[in-house]
Amino acid sequence: MTELNAQQQRARAWFEELRDAICAEFEAIEREAGSDAAFDYTPWDRADPSGAPGGGGVRGVMKGKVFEKVGVNVSTVGGTFEGEFGKTIHGAGEDPRFFATGISLVAHMANPHVPAVHMNTRFLVTTKRWFGGGADLNPPIPYAEDSADFHARLKAACDAHDPEHYPRFKAWADDYFYIPHRKVHRGVGGIFYDHLDSDIEADWEANFAFTQDVGRAFLDIFPTIVRRRMATPFSAADTAQMLEWRGRYAEFNLVYDRGTLFGLKTGGNIDAILMSLPPLATWS
């Protein structure tokens, strides 16, 4: 992988900073619950198909009392797309070279009343430069208050940059996080955005600032929801409902999730890519 330029270095540094802040907050929640669980970090390297070094990342996983399984991964990779896959990537149809850096997070909770969650943000370079990402809430047992607060915090982050962002990106999330063969949404939504083109310097700065605020919004609201619900008593029926719901989550991630496909097609770390899968799930 070639040496990173200033923009690539700034993006990578931010995703690593966000990772550190999120992991520290999640570990603090475990301490509040009387657990000493902590993240276990595993670095990995990627080889480009050309044989040259292709970057790598760090897989972080914690299994605790509140977080049954949470993965927070950061990666910075680059090189050349193989075969026809590059033609499916924005800006890579004529030139298969790419760079990508980002953070990806999935949390599966021990208490069925605490929602699972997904968040990722990323910066990619092909013949284009763009940002993408978002966050969505996935409660086995939905609470209107939690859903409203999650959406309100994301809306505030969006509105600070462009009043059109939230309605557009909420609709995008609703369309994307849908399981066609089940005819159900994966959860209660959030925001999803992609291809925020940043070839112009002013656009890059604006879109980077927005992407940072999405991460800050997640760090602000999700721990609040976790603390609100993590001591709620639950029954065996609640757990059964959560495990069946997790099966739907796994189906989406294995069949439809573009991030999963991107990681597998670009030689990413298999364990890091599949950390989104729940530790236990059922199918009726």
> Catalytic residue positions?
118
Full strand arrangement of the beta sheet holding 129-138? 40-47, 53-62, 67-80, 97-109, 116-125, 129-138, 189-197
Burial call 163-182: b when 16+ CB within 10 Å, e when fewer = eebbeebbebbbebbeeeee
What residue ranges in the chain does DSSP mark as E strands? Answer: 40-47, 53-62, 67-80, 97-109, 116-125, 129-138, 178-179, 184-185, 189-197
CA angle 180, 182, 186 (to 5 degrees): 80
Please say whether the beta carbons of 190 and 126 come within 8 A: no
